[in-house]
Structure 1
Amino acid sequence: MALVPSPALVAEVEMGADPSAPTVRATVVQASTVFYDTPATLDKAERLLAEAAGYGAQLVVFPEAFVGGYPRGSNFGIVIGNRTAKGKEEFRKYHASAIDVPGPEVDRLAAMAGKYKVFLVMGVIERDGYTLYCTVLFFDSQGSYLGKHRKIMPTALERIIWGFGDGSTIPVFETPIGKIGAAICWENRMPLLRTAMYAKGIEIYCAPTADSRDVWQASMTHIALEGGCFVLSANQFCRRKDYPPPPEYVFAGTEEELTPDSVVCAGGSVIISPSGAILAGPNYDGEALISADLDLGEIAREKFAFDVVGHYSRPEVLSLTVKDHPTNPVTFVSASAKTEVSHTP
């Protein structure tokens, strides 16, 4: 019996990894945020996590902006040179739905990961003062928060509502189930960002997204082949009724064409091997838990032929420098810091 109150929820489990090699059971979650209701979204996340753990998942990846919501169809009342009062109020509500990192919601997510003994990769909207970031949080199976990745390049109108991450949050975490990192949505189309992650030895490449187009699958397959890594792409499956009704929330330009059951994001979540083989998905049918066994031995087998930052690189011709320090707009130097004074006799 599904633990998520949605008749559309299905589970897909693909098995068949080499039993002689280490394997990891991974699950990508394809489900919708409870928009403007972060406590309810966290409750839903826990139900999904519990169900994934019931299928034996060791790693669970949630979509982009699952906690806090992806504001699909909204323009926040913006035109060049002006912002409407309704749009400002919409941003206020969106800001209120975001979470602080660290904060109580992060503590709850960590407790979930520990309770169900899974590594957890969660897409959130992070609130840092009055600036929002599209962020991915990482947790280990012991219930510890490992760190975060902030989306370094929001796309199109996303740049109006989200800040820009910097090189200090492009982590790849070495864990007992492999080296795990993430890039969000169209960041995955940035070759230099991918190269930085490959150089950190990523093995399980998480790609939370909001892109449900068929062409997204080509990018995911390419990354798996290019990086010699497993790619886990998680997207939301949303209908119009998963967002507040008009006039509280309006899908600009398309609202009049939508019914409550209209699909506004069709999912397409997928798991792909380092050889480019599709292990599970893509799913366009509804909310789902999509799982596969990852044969970690396949990484070495594929990198024997192509190691993009190893034997197949040409550093004397092509090289990359990554500035991985925080870029803070203001730095305070304490006035109480001791200063040595030299006295000449």
Structure 2
Amino acid sequence: MTPARTVTAAVVQAAAPLFDTPAALTRADELLREAVGRRGAEVVVFPEAFVGGYPKGLDLGVPVGSRTPEGRDLFRRYHAAAIEVPGPEVATLAAVTRELACHAVVGAIERQGGTLYCVALFFGPDGYLGLHRKLMPTAAERCLWGQGDGSTLPVIDTGAGRLGAAICWENYMPLFRTAMYAKGVDLWCAPTVDDRDAWQATMRHVAVEGRCFVLSANQYLRRDALPADLHPVRGDAPDTVLINGGSVIVSPLGEVLAGPLRDGEGILTATLDLDDLARARFDFDATGHYARPDVFALHVDESARAAVTYRS
């Protein structure tokens, strides 16, 4: 009998202090070492905007048609806490995954000039491997982050499985999902800050539709992780929960393997039987034998879109 092919996956449920990038890197280092060293994880997924922060409950002074000086200065602080890719913070994280010989997907806020992007950074035993920029920021996020383009839709072959990422509500975009399914994603990483119960149904749906393992990592964020001079809409009591987790790991047939985790920080792990991928795809392959290309077609533009190009 052929021995089972397995990989141990972990999702991290935590947050770092807002506007404190060194603290975020220290936390990422500690959590990676715990997930890999103590729990045996080979693939580790962090939440959306773990490095750079998610300013939950802040409005940045953007009533329709105007901006406030206070909001502009708050954006300045957020911009300063973001990271450049490549850059020293990326090099720091890459050194950890090289040392631990693991793969990791880390949510971050990327700074490129005057624009910020919500990104998923991919790391492996060889260091930094690439990034995915969120294609469509949700609601008020559009005041903070730019839109990614089709040039950052990587799928990383880890040797054990193919790793891809959809950030938060990108998981609700059916054409995005279809494009990623066509790339053969086996380990679907879903960094998020959505702590609603409906998110659990979405993660199980993606797993069943994509016939892939889903690794969803959410933040657990309290008011005391924000600077004292900020005033989130949910209140100023230090123990007020702003994001209440819900991290989860799901099998290709929709079985919840770990989680959902609520009401605190933690790390979920599960041993994934990679042969379950073929078992699940026996009767459904969204872009393979269950597709109807004679009726439906999706065209994906993966070219980079620059606002200015120079020709000499």
- Taking structure 2 as the reference length, what is the TM-score of the superposition? 0.98
**Which 5+ residue runs of structure 1 have no aligned equivalent?**
1-17, 335-345
Q: Which residue of 2 aligns with 1:309?
A: 287
Give SS of 1:207's match: strand
**What are the superposed Cα offsets for residues 168-187 of structure 1, whole Å, 9 maximum, x if unpaired?**
11111112121001000000
Q: Matches of 2:123 and 2:160 in 1, distance apart? A: 13
Cα deviation 1:31-90 (Å, max 9, x = unaligned):
012211000110011011111112111011000000000111011111122111110000
Does residue 267 of the first structure (1) align with residue 267 of the second (2)?
no
Q: Is the 8 A contact 1:68 1:94 kept in 2?
A: yes
CA distance in 2, matches of 1:117, 1:286: 28
| Structure 2 partner of 1:40 | 23
2:298 alignment partner, one of 299, 309, 320 = 320
- Displacement of 1:200 in angstroms is 0.4
Letter in 1 for 2:137: P
- Across the two proteins, how many residue pairs are aligned to each other? 311
User: Which residue type is aligned with residue 141 of structure 1?
Assistant: P
Q: Is the 8 A contact 1:229 1:274 kept in 2?
A: yes
Cα contact 1:35–1:68 (8 A) shared by 2: yes
* Match for residue 200 of structure 2 among 182, 192, 217: 217
Q: Which amino acid aligns with 1:62?
A: F
Q: CA deviation at 1:285?
A: 2.6
Instruction: Name which one, 1 or 2, has greater alpha-carbon Rg.
Output: 1
Q: In the alignment, does 2:214 pair up with 1:236?
A: no
CA distance in 1, matches of 2:110, 2:160: 27
- For the residue of structure 1 that corresponds to 2:151, the secondary structure is helix
Cα distance, 1:20 vs. partner? 2.5
Percent of aligned positions that are identical: 56
Report the alpha carbon displacement of residue 19 of structure 1 after superposing the two structures with TM: 8.9
Q: Which residue of 2 aligns with 1:31?
A: 14
* Residue ranges of structure 2 left out of the alignment (5+ in a row): none
**What amino acid does structure 1 have at the position aligned with 2:214?**
V
- Distance in 2 of aligned mates of 1:150 and 1:75: 23
1:184-203 equivalences in 2 (<5 Å)? 184-203=167-186
Paired residues of 2:103 and 2:158 also in contact (CA < 8 A): no
Question: Helix, strand or coil for the counterpart of 2:278?
Answer: helix
Query: What SS class does the counterpart of residue 139 from structure 2 fall into?
Result: coil
RMSD: 1.1
Distance 1:267 1:19 in 2: 38
In 2: Cα distance, 1:244 partner to 1:321 partner? 45
State the secondary structure of the residue aligned to 1:46: helix
